[in-house]
Every structure is written in C-alpha cells, then in structure tokens.
Amino acid sequence: MSVMLPIVVDVMGGDNAPKAIIDGSRSALAQGIAVELVGLASVAENIGSLKLHEVSQVIGMADEPGRAVRTMKDSSIVRGAERVRDGQASAMVSAGNTGAVAAAALLRMKRIPGVSRPAIATTLPVPGRSPKILLDSGAMADCQPDWLLQFAQMGSAFSRIRYGIEKPKIGLLSIGEEAEKGNQITKAAHVLLRNDNSIDFIGNVEGRDILDGAVDVVVADGFTGNVALKTIEGTIKFLVNQIISILLADGVGEVGKEALGLLAPIASELNPEAVGGAMLLGVNGISIISHGSAGPLAIENAIKLARDMVDADLIGALSRAVTAS
C-alpha cells in the first residue's frame, strides 16, 4: 500500500488565518493525516511540528483573481496548486480568495482530459436526509449547455463517491419544472441532460426544490448557483437567529431552553464547519475551497475530505464520468 502524499494547506487564506488554519491543520495531523502548510515565514513560530513551505506573497480576499494569480506567482495559493501539480502534495485546501483558488488550480493543475470547464460543488446539509450537491456555485458565471452536461456528470460521480448514492438524481435549476421553461442555455442543456444515459436526470427543478425535493445534485451556471447558495445560507442564518431570539426572550423561561436543546442536533447538522469546504471538480487534482470564515473545525474537516477523495480516486472517477457519454 502506497503512502499518501501530504495535503498542502494555504495557511494565509481566510478571515481567521493563520490561527484557525494552523489549529485545524494540527488537529488533522494529530489524527495521522500528513499535512503541510504553505505561507509566509512569519507564521513559522506558531505551527508546532507542521512543515511550512515559505512564500513571499499573499493573495487577499479583495484581489482580482485572474490578475492576482498571474502576477503573484510566489503566493501561498499559487505555490499550493503547484505542489499538487508537481506531485509533491496529494491535494490542496484553502479558505482564501475563491476565484484565485479556482484560477490557480485551473492554470497550474490544468483540466482533467475531456473536461471543458471546472465547477465548484457545494454540499448543502439537510437534517435527517442525505446532503444535496449544488454545482456550479461560483466558478463559471457564464456557461454553455455542454458545460452544464459535464457538471451533471461530474456531480453525479462526486455524489456517488462522497455520499454513497448509487444513482444520484440530477436536476437542472430553472424557473419552472417544464422542459420549455428557462433561458436559452437552460433549455438547450435540458435536451442534452435528458439524452445522456450515464446520469439519472429527473428534469428541471425550482429553487424551492433544492433542499426539500427528491433531487440529489442540482446543476446550474455559476452565477445562478452562487445566488441560490447565498440565498439559502442567508435564509437559514436569519431563521436560526430569529428562533434563538424568540426562545431566549424574557418570559419564555425553561420551555425555551428545553426547545433549544431539542433543536441543537439540527443546528449541528446545518453547521457549515461540519462540511469543511466545496470541491473544485474538473481540475486534474484535488482542490477544496473552504468558506472564508472557516474556523479550525472546518479546516480539519476539509483536510479529511481531501484525504477521503484522494483515497477514493475522485479524479479517476470524474475522468470516467465525462468520457462515458
């Protein structure tokens, strides 16, 4: 049995870097996962037994992704992607600038042969049920119909490997369930998905079906997918805060505290920290993009996800998925 190469983690990425990234990485290391960091030399004194690959530049959250990747070649994001490309790391994890991580992975790792464009696959937890997968959730704002077909194929393969769903049900996000509903790209993509025997396409789904419907994988262009994702995140956060405020209000007393205890398991399942991060599907290497506000638990879980996807040969599965049709 071969020994897995280390997972490289961008220690400079995210709102809580470097401390949260270091803490999460150290926790993963303590569980036997090979982890190395890439970042500025100034963090070295706080990393314990973790190995640091030093860089001289950091891409900020507000930097324009394409330009930053082209001009900041000694940044932690770019060097991390290069370590995967060069066979020095098995996977990359970053909570940094999403666009820059996607661009660096695409430009350095390149695409899986046969893949037209990569997509960000975001896991949406659903209490008491299997999680849903939404892609693309931000990598490609403008898409072509055949790209959406490949997103469906890759999303199906990822759902099968990640969550053990033998035949994931694929839905195309649109403004109505009928095939003739949607814009020109969506309608053209619907025909392609319907005629592809390698996936279980159930037709169009609406925004209300993403969490509650029978669909396992929701396919959309990056613009629509990102708007849907942020709407779901914002709505859940608003509702949770409202419920907590009501239950902790004066006069509710012990009943409110008891209700909060009953709701705690649901809140735990909805916690994005438990997911770890989103998968960038389509590049020739495992690349995980954690939320910008990721804490130690999210980083630890992102590293574990990276390990699991390397073990399961996700890249091989994606390659087979896009060439099967």
Q: Where are the domains of the chain?
A: 1-115+282-325, 119-272
244-268 CB burial, b ≥16 within 10 A, e <16: eeeeeeeeeeeebeeeeeeeeeeee
Helix (H, G, I), strand (E, B) or coil at 75: strand
- Token readout for 80 is 């991390």
Structure confidence at residue 325 (pLDDT): 55
1-115+282-325 and 119-272: identical CATH topology: yes
* CATH number, span 1-115+282-325: 3.40.718.10
Structure confidence at residue 261 (pLDDT): 74
Structure confidence at residue 320 (pLDDT): 95
User: CA distances (Å), 292 to each of 49, 60, 243, 274, in order?
Assistant: 25, 11, 25, 14
Structure confidence at residue 236 (pLDDT): 82
- Token readout for 124 is 């949406």
Structure confidence at residue 290 (pLDDT): 95
Structure confidence at residue 1 (pLDDT): 45
Q: How far apart are CA 325 and CA 319, in angstroms?
A: 11
Could you list the mean pLDDT of each consecutive 10-residue stretch along the chain, which spans 325 residues?
84 95 96 97 92 97 95 98 97 96 96 96 88 93 96 97 95 92 94 96 94 91 94 85 79 72 70 86 97 93 97 96 76
Instruction: Pick one of 3.40.718.10, 3.30.565.10, 3.30.360.10, 3.40.50.720 as the CATH number of 119-272.
Output: 3.40.718.10
Structure confidence at residue 127 (pLDDT): 80
Q: Strands, DSSP E only, in the chain?
A: 7-10, 35-40, 51-55, 91-94, 119-124, 132-135, 169-173, 200-205, 217-219, 278-281, 286-289
Residue with tokens 């995210």: 14
